[in-house]
Structure formats: structure tokens, C-alpha cells
Amino acid sequence: MPRRKADYHHGDLRRALLAAGLELLEQEGVAGITTRALARKLGVSHAAPHRHFPDRAALLSELAAIAFERFTAALRTGMDKETRPDRRLAQMGRAYIRFAIDRPAHLRLMFNQEFPSPPPRLQQASQAAYEVLEEGVVAALGPGAPGKRVEAEVFGSWALVHGAAMLWIDGSLRHQLPPRGARAAFLKLSDASIERMIEGLPKQR
Amino acid sequence: MPRRKADYHHGDLRRALLAAGLELLEQEGVAGITTRALARKLGVSHAAPHRHFPDRAALLSELAAIAFERFTAALRTGMDKETRPDRRLAQMGRAYIRFAIDRPAHLRLMFNQEFPSPPPRLQQASQAAYEVLEEGVVAALGPGAPGKRVEAEVFGSWALVHGAAMLWIDGSLRHQLPPRGARAAFLKLSDASIERMIEGLPKQR
DNA sequence: TGTACATCAGTGAACGCGCGTTCACTGATGTAC
DNA sequence: TGTACATCAGTGAACGCGCGTTCACTGATGTAC
């Protein structure tokens, strides 16, 4: 039987750290993720995490990569509810918004963090998310669309859903939405904006 | 002559703290604004700031309020370059983007910060910014527009410019823009998106 | 005009906090013979 | 199969860091008489 590192002491501390980190992320925010807090949460000495991550930044960027991977998966799952390219793009936008509502701190970690030189996995994960978005717009525009047009539409749709998501996460809409049913009102507004955006695309049959 | 508190020792430490805070904000980011750092910057003991602000949160929220006031002024200045309501709205959007480029940390402090119970000045300042945006959209839509329509258009245009601004600030466009002239390319894309948004509004003469 | 007093902005020492990181160590597990 | 050894995940004490905050104080300024 091949030797499995996972079987040494804790079992699989590295994996446990990442899982606990993603939980703690949504509970306490990015700043709440400290190597010591994670060690406490897992009942392990506070120096133990350093066996698996050289420093806190390495841990955070690994978490960000996983967050991006979850995000990309959510976008794909959303898209796959439909078959027509323009409807697929709309569903991707809806999935973007819903991910932001469900996992706000994930989005914050992904976008709002400074990673001076992101490790390959993070760079790849964020690039993959972008490519899903881009492919969705390209498909909705159809094969004839010129590159400049594609670029502009990718930018515009990304900015729209990202802005809506961020305004929600940051609570900036707090005073503009009804206190009861804020979430529902927000979803309605977002969905309507997405539909308007889709309508603005050139028709292609 | 009326007694002026400003003339005691430092001169006007409260005002100086706010001014230094806004400078430090753009140099070091929100996390860099500590009472001790500000005291060092002003050549004053590290306990001195507490004479003017009960705690760090009070200082930060005051800075956020000033940031919002600058932001509102920038939006107004942008708008006032034009007279036609739809052009005024476009200029406001452009001003939003340019403010984000010029003072990214201001925007981060304004939107990205948690103020559990914002003091009146901050609440008023952020509300004022929103009202400028809302008025701009209302004017561009014309007097006949129903409330629901107005609400949807305010949301959509805010989300669009805010999203573009945030993507830029967070560096998320780094890999999608040319390394040379990224700023110019970003402005071009933003401006085009704003024009598309304006074109989507119902015509009114 | 001069003096005694009150005010209060700024001082500097001190406290406790949680953090990241290092280090020699321990002991459980896997491996070689 | 059994024993000696190597590996290395996790330990726990320790270090230094900057931070916010408190406190009795000092001394410059303004005010009252």
C-alpha cells in the first residue's frame, strides 16, 4: 500500500485547514482568517499550520484559488440550465449574483485581496473564471462578432453583475431597499438589469 | 476676539489628523490608517489623536464622510460640464470612474468598510451621493417615468459604473488589458459602456 | 496693566492584546534489512 | 517476523511586532478680576 502522508497524526491537516478556512471566511471575514484561529478551531497547536503553509499569505491565496474554483463551478451550473446562448448568459449573470449573496466573503477574498505575485493555482483559477464569462458572451454574440465588440460586451456585462454584487455585499443598498424582503427586491432588480443587458445584444438566430 | 480652540498647541490637530489621514489613505490603504501612524506623521505623541477622536473607528468614519463629500462634489462637477440631462448623466458616470482611478482608497473606504452604526455625518454624506446619482437618472428619464422604472434605471447605472470602478481598483482587469496603456484602455471601455447605458434610456426631448 | 487661576491639548510611560514566526523537541508512523 | 532506524507532522515555549487604549502629568494659553 502506498504511504499516505494524510495518515500521520492529525489525519489530513492541510485539507482540514483549507476546509476550516473557508468556513471561518464566511463567519469572520478575511481578517478573521489567522493561522492561530484556524489552529484553535482544529484543536491543534498554533505552529502546526506552518508545517503545511510557509506563511499566512500562502494559505490565503490557496483559499482564494478554491473560492474561484467554486465560483467558476457555480457560473457553469447556472449556465447549464439553459441551451440558447443568450439565455445561458443570463443564467450566468444570475448565478454570479447568487454566489455573491450566498458567499459574500468568498467574493471579497477573490477580488478584494492584494496578492503581489499570485501562485499558479490562484492565477489559473481566476483566469478560468474569466474565460467562462468570456465564452458566455462570445456565444451569446454569435460567431460573426468582431473582437472589439466582444471585448466591450464582456467588459459591460462583467461590470454590471460585479457592481450589483459588490453593492449588495458592502451593504450600500441597505437604505435603498425595503428593510423586509431586501434580498428579494435586490434579486428582482438584478435580474431585470441582466435582462436589459441581454436585450441590448445583437439578435442572432 | 472669540477664543479659537485651534490656537492651543499644535494649531489644529483635529483638522491635521483628517488631512493626514486622507493622504495616508491613498498611500497605505485603509489598514494603514492607525492612530499611531497618524501621530508619527504629524510629529505628535501617539496618544494625542485620542483627544480629538474617541477611538479609531470614529476617525475612520469621519474620513469616510469626507471621502463621500469629495465624491459627491466630483460627480456634480462632472455633470455640470453638460446641460442636456442624458449627457449630464453620462458625465456623472465618467466622473465616477475617474474618481475611482484617482482616489481608489477613498472608494474602498467609502464602500468596503463596515460601520455598524454610522455617525450622522457619514450617513448624510453617503445619502447625498446617492441622491445626486438618483437625480441624474430621474432627469435623464424625464418627468413621465414611473417610479419602478426610475428605481430600475438607478440600480442598473449605479451597478455598471460601480462594477467597472471596483474591477479597476481591485486589479481584476490586469490580465485583460494591455500592460502599456491599461488606464487608457479601461477609460475607453468604461466610456463606451456608459454610452450604451445612456442609449438604452427612453428618448425624451 | 498685572496677577492668579482655570482650562485643556498634548505628553510619555505603561498595559494587554493577538498576531506571525522560529526553534529545538517528541513521538507516532513507515521502511530497510 | 522482528528490530533498528529514518522520517516528519505536530508540540509548546519563546520572541518581537504594532496596535488601541488608559492614565496621571505638564505646560501653554485664555480669562477673570
Contact A159 B161 (CB under 8 A): yes
Which residues neighbour B67 within 8 Å (Cβ) at sequence distance 6 or greater? B22, B25, B103, B106, B107, B109, B110
The per-residue pLDDT for A202 is: 79
Task: Give B-chain residues touching A172 at CB under 8 angstroms.
Answer: 111, 126
Average pLDDT estimate for A193-201: 96
As a rounded value in angstroms, the CA-to-C1' distance for B37 and C14 is 19
Torsion angle defined by CA atoms of residues A168, A187, B138 and B94, in that order, rounded to the nearest 10 degrees: 50
In eight-state DSSP terms, residue A60 is H
Contact A111 B159 (CB under 8 A): no
Amino acid at B196: R
Check if the beta carbon of residue B61 is closer than 8 Å to that of residue B122. Answer: yes
Q: Alpha-carbon distance A193 to B160, whole Å? A: 10
For chain B, report the end-to-end CA distance as a whole number of angstroms: 57
Q: Alpha-carbon distance B79 to A62, whole Å? A: 44
Q: What is the pLDDT of residues A88-119, one digit of tens each?
A: 999 999 999 999 999 999 999 999 888 888 99
- B103: alpha, beta or left? (left if phi > 0; alpha if psi -120 to 50): beta
The per-residue pLDDT for B204 is: 55
Give the residue among B199, B138, B112, B45 at the shortest CA–CA distance from A107: B112
The per-residue pLDDT for A1 is: 29
Q: Alpha-carbon distance B30 to A110, whole Å? A: 18
The per-residue pLDDT for A2 is: 30
CB-CB: which of B152, B158, B166 is closest to A192?
B152
Picking from A75-79, A187-191, B146-150, which range would have the lowest pLDDT averaged per residue? B146-150
Nucleotide nearest to B4 (CA to C1'): D30
The per-residue pLDDT for A10 is: 65
Contact A156 B111 (CB under 8 A): no
How many alpha carbons fall within 13 Å on the CB side of residue B171? 12
CB-CB: which of B163, B190, B200 is closest to A166?
B163
Positions of chain C reached by protein Cβ under 7 A: 8-14, 18-24, 28-31
User: What is the sign, positive or negative, of the torsion defined by CA atoms of A131, A91, A141, B201?
Assistant: negative
Which residues neighbour B120 within 8 Å (Cβ) at sequence distance 6 or greater? none
Q: What is the pLDDT of residues A16-65, one digit of tens each?
A: 999 999 999 999 999 999 999 999 999 999 999 999 999 999 999 999 99
Q: C-alpha cell of A102? A: 450566498
Q: C-alpha cell of A179? A: 428593510
The per-residue pLDDT for A6 is: 37
Q: Alpha-carbon distance B22 to B30, whole Å? A: 10
Task: Give B-chain residues touching A125 at CB under 8 angstroms.
Answer: none
- The per-residue pLDDT of chain A, averaged, comes to 93
Task: Give B-chain residues touching A176 at CB under 8 angstroms.
Answer: 130, 154-155
Nucleotide nearest to A40 (CA to C1'): C18
The per-residue pLDDT for A116 is: 80
Contact B111 A159 (CB under 8 A): no
Give the residue among B151, B134, B156, B132 at the shortest CA–CA distance from B78: B132
pLDDT higher than 60, residue A5: no
% of chain A at pLDDT higher than 90:
87
Q: How many helices (H) and strands (E) does chain A have?
A: 8, 0
Contact A156 B112 (CB under 8 A): no
pLDDT higher than 70, residue A182: yes
pLDDT higher than 90, residue A197: yes
Check if the beta carbon of residue A72 is closer than 8 Å to that of residue A133. Answer: no
The per-residue pLDDT for B203 is: 66
Task: Give A-chain residues touching B117 at CB under 8 angstroms.
Answer: none
Reading chain B (205 residues) residue by residue, the pLDDT tens digits are 333 333 345 668 999 999 999 999 999 999 999 999 999 999 999 999 999 999 999 999 999 999 999 999 999 999 999 999 999 999 999 999 999 999 999 999 999 988 888 999 999 999 999 999 999 999 999 988 999 999 999 999 999 999 999 999 999 999 999 999 999 999 999 999 999 999 998 765 4
Q: Alpha-carbon distance B87 to B136, whole Å? A: 10
pTM attached to this predicted model? 0.94
The per-residue pLDDT for B202 is: 79
Element (H, E) at A110: helix A104-112
